[in-house]
Amino acid sequence: MSEDTVIRHGAPTLAGMKTGNLFPCFFSSPQALAEELRAMNQVLVPRGLRLVPLRREKGRALLYLFRPAALSRDLAQEEVRRLLRQAGYRDLGQGACLAELRRRLGAGGDFPHEIGLFLGYPPEDVAGFVRHRGKGCKCVGCWKVYGDEAAARRQFAAFKACTANYCRRRAKGASLARLAVTTRLPQ
């Protein structure tokens, strides 16, 4: 996994605009993946970010780049807690929630729709997706929107602009360390 991959797939999180991003990567061995993650996290963790595998199978990993402080803030929201309880999460601490999400992803079957709550999606959109089984949304961007369409479209545009900006800066030689903003999401 290269810095390019993390930047291309995680720019809004690196910029402090989003709680998390999810993306796949290939690996040659579990040991190689662990070494790459360790090296990436040496850059990311001091900047308030973490990169962890949520699923590994057949040389491919599903990685989660996130801001632990932002995830804690999101998990403290009553609507998020209610949705996670409805989905069967018992312990709503960050570590327990991540462990349960990892378990569900590893079990196969349907993709756990509550994953949007770990990515910073609006709870009303996650609830709408679950309730309507992905149908009848107002618009589609980074997620399916069931709530505030105008706000979601603004966010989609901001995320797209951020990704384009970060990819341009990377092409000009900016490193992951330079692009990973040490910040928290706005309150």
Give the type of residue at 120: G
d(CA 99, CA 114): 14
Instruction: Quote the pLDDT of residue 183.
Output: 60
Residue-level pLDDT at 181: 82
Give the pLDDT confidence score for residue 178 in this predicted structure. 92
Based on C-alpha coordinates, what's the Rg of the chain?
A: 16
pLDDT of residue 186: 46
**Contact criterion met (CB below 8 Å) for 146 and 132:** yes
Neighbours of 73 (CB within 10 A): 16
> CA-CA-CA-CA torsion for 107, 59, 61, 5, nearest 10 degrees?
-160
Name the 3-class secondary structure at 172. Answer: coil
Give the C-alpha separation, 111 to 41, whole Å: 26
For 31, the token pair is 């040991």
Domain ranges of the chain: 3-173
Model pLDDT, residue 107? 83
Between CA 182 and CA 177 the distance in angstroms is 10
d(C-alpha 116, C-alpha 120), whole Å: 6
**Whole-Å CA distances, 35 to 1, 24, 39, 57, 58:** 10, 17, 6, 17, 18
Give dist(CA 74, CA 176) in Å, integer: 25
pLDDT in tens, the chain (187 residues): 789 999 999 999 999 999 999 999 999 999 999 999 999 999 999 999 999 999 998 889 999 999 999 999 999 999 999 999 999 999 999 999 999 999 999 887 778 989 999 999 999 999 999 999 889 999 999 999 999 999 999 999 999 999 999 999 999 999 999 999 876 444 4
Q: What is the largest CA-CA distance in the chain?
A: 46
| Closest by CA position to 25, among listed 56, 55, 60 | 60
pLDDT of res. 185: 45
pLDDT at 90: 94
